[in-house]
């Protein structure tokens, strides 16, 4: 399996995410931070990363965007937002894609 599906529309490429995690040396503890609408996704990401040998924490704090990073652990995976500043710990900004076809609604 190469993707996580929250619903039929939202996709995170797990293969790409793991490759990004593996580029960071000496990472043992990973914190996953997601906005409220993607909370279920955090559990799937944590399971996947734990199966790859990492200790994973899920931030339960509210998340208001990339300016509100939870800087804990060796690495932060921040889902759904893009980099706004350089944090104190390494951060992977995991992209979320929508595979829904909006073209029929544009007509």
pLDDT of residue 107: 64
Is residue 7 over pLDDT 50? no
Helix 14-22 to helix 39-51 angle (10° resolution) is 60
pLDDT digits (tens, 9 = 90+) for 42-76: 888 899 999 999 999 998 777 666 666 777 789 98
Alpha-carbon distances of 19 from 8, 22, 24, 75, rounded to whole Å: 24, 5, 9, 14
What residues pair up with 55 in beta bridges, in sequence order?
29
CA distance 66 to 81: 6
- Kindly report the pTM of this predicted structure: 0.76
- Is beta strand 10-13 parallel, antiparallel or unpaired with respect to 3-5? antiparallel
- The mean pLDDT of the chain is 79
Instruction: Quickly tell me which residue has 């500043």 as its tokens.
Output: 85
pLDDT digits (tens, 9 = 90+) for 83-95: 666 667 788 888 7
CA distance 7 to 94: 17
CA distance 74 to 94: 16
pLDDT of residue 61: 77
């Amino acid at each position: 399996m190469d993707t996580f599906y929250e619903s039929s529309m939202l996709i995170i490429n797990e293969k790409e995410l793991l490759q990004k995690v593996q580029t960071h040396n000496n990472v043992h503890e990973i914190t996953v931070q997601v906005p409220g609408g993607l909370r279920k996704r955090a559990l799937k990401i944590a399971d996947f990363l734990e199966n790859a040998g990492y200790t994973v924490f899920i931030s339960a704090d509210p998340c208001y965007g990339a300016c509100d990073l939870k800087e804990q652990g060796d690495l932060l995976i921040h889902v759904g937002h893009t980099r706004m500043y350089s944090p104190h710990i390494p951060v992977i900004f995991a992209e979320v894609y929508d595979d829904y076809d909006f073209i029929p609604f544009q007509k």
